[in-house]
Structure 1
Amino acid sequence: MVKKILKSYDYSLILAVVLLCAFGLVMVYSSSMITAVARYEVEADYFFQRQKLALIAGGLAFIVMMIFPYRAFLTSGMLKLIVFGSIGLLVSLFFIGHVAGNAQSWIKLGGMNLQPGEFVKLSVIIYLAAVYDKKQSYIDEFGRGVLPPLIFTGIICFFVIIQPDFGTAFIIGMIAICMILCSGMAIKSIGKLISLVLLFGILMSPIIMFKADQIFSEERLSRFTGFADPFAHEGGAGYQLVNSFYAIGSGGLTGLGLGQSVQKYGYLPESHTDFIMAVIAEELGIFGVMFVLILLSFIILKGFSIARKCQDPFGTLLSVGISSMIAIQAMINLGGLTGLIPITGVPLPFISYGGSSILLLLISMGLLVNVSMFTTYRETYQKPTTQEVKPAAVIKPLQQKNNSSMR
Structure 2
Amino acid sequence: MRRAGRPGVRELWRRPGTPYLVLVGSCTLLTVFGLMMVFSASQVQALSHGHGSAFYFRKQLLAAAAGAVLLVAAMRAPVRLHRKAVYPVLGTAVVLLCLVQVPGLGQTVNGSTNWLSLGGSFQLQPSEFAKVALVLWGADLIARKESHRLLTSVRHLLLPLVPGALLLLGLVLIGGDMGTALILCCVLFSLLWTAGTPARVFGWALAAAALACVALVATTAYRAARLSCVGAVDPGPDDQCWQAVHGLYAFADGGLFGRGLGASMEKWGQLPEPHTDFVLAITGEETGLVGTLTVLALYALLLAAGLAVAARTGDTFVRLTAVGVTTWIAAQSTINIGGALGLLPISGVPLPLFSYGGSALIAALFGAGLLLSLARSQGTTVTAPRRGKRTGRGGKSPGDGGRRTGGKRTAR
Same fold (TM over 0.5): yes
On the 8 A contact 1:66/1:369 being kept in 2, the answer is: yes
Say whether residues 1:167 and 2:146 are aligned partners: no
On the 8 A contact 2:277/2:351 being kept in 1, the answer is: yes
Q: CA deviation at 1:124?
A: 0.2
Give 2:158's aligned amino acid: V
Give 1:131's aligned amino acid: L
Give 1:140's aligned amino acid: T
1:173-322 matches, cutoff 5 A: 173-185=185-197, 187=198, 190-192=199-201, 194-195=203-204, 216-227=219-230, 229-231=232-234, 233=236, 235-322=238-325
Gaps of 5+ in 2: 1-16, 383-399, 404-412
Give 1:117's aligned amino acid: S
2:239 match: secondary structure: coil
2:65 match: secondary structure: helix
* 1:93 equivalent in structure 2: 100
Seen in structure 2, the aligned counterparts of structure 1 residues 239 and 197 have a Cα distance that, compared at 3 Å, is: closer
* 1:48 equivalent in structure 2: 57
* 1:82 equivalent in structure 2: 89
Once the two structures are overlaid, the 10-residue window that deviates more, 86-95 or 265-274, is 86-95
* 2:28 equivalent in structure 1: 18
* 2:389 equivalent in structure 1: none
Aligned with residue 81 of structure 2, among 62, 72, 75: 72
Give 2:365's aligned amino acid: L
* 2:388 equivalent in structure 1: none
Distance between the aligned counterparts of 2:315 and 2:167, measured in 1?
A: 28
Distance between the aligned counterparts of 2:208 and 2:284, measured in 1?
A: 43
Once the two structures are overlaid, the 10-residue window that deviates more, 21-30 or 191-200, is 191-200
Aligned with residue 38 of structure 2, among 17, 28, 34: 28
Q: CA deviation at 1:369?
A: 0.3
On the 8 A contact 1:164/1:215 being kept in 2, the answer is: no
TM-score (structure 2 length as normaliser): 0.83
Seen in structure 2, the aligned counterparts of structure 1 residues 283 and 228 have a Cα distance that, compared at 3 Å, is: closer
Cα deviation 1:33-90 (Å, max 9, x = unaligned): 011102x110000000000000010011111011111222333xx3332332222111
1:342 match: secondary structure: coil
Cα deviation 1:336-365 (Å, max 9, x = unaligned): 111111111111111100000000010010
* 2:14 equivalent in structure 1: none
On the 8 A contact 1:336/1:342 being kept in 2, the answer is: yes
On the 8 A contact 1:254/1:286 being kept in 2, the answer is: yes
On the 8 A contact 1:230/1:237 being kept in 2, the answer is: no
Once the two structures are overlaid, the 10-residue window that deviates more, 313-322 or 175-184, is 175-184
Say whether residues 1:371 and 2:381 are aligned partners: no
> Which of the two has greater helix per residue?
1
Give 2:323's aligned amino acid: V
Once the two structures are overlaid, the 10-residue window that deviates more, 231-240 or 254-263, is 231-240
On the 8 A contact 1:307/1:316 being kept in 2, the answer is: yes
Runs of 4+ in 1 over 4 A off after TM superposition: 196-202, 377-383
On the 8 A contact 2:279/2:355 being kept in 1, the answer is: yes
Q: CA deviation at 1:94?
A: 1.0
TM-score (structure 1 length as normaliser): 0.84
- Structure (1 or 2) with the larger CA radius of gyration: 2
* 1:389 equivalent in structure 2: none
Seen in structure 2, the aligned counterparts of structure 1 residues 18 and 241 have a Cα distance that, compared at 3 Å, is: same
Give 1:26's aligned amino acid: M
* 2:67 equivalent in structure 1: 58
Seen in structure 2, the aligned counterparts of structure 1 residues 367 and 97 have a Cα distance that, compared at 3 Å, is: same
1:139 match: secondary structure: coil
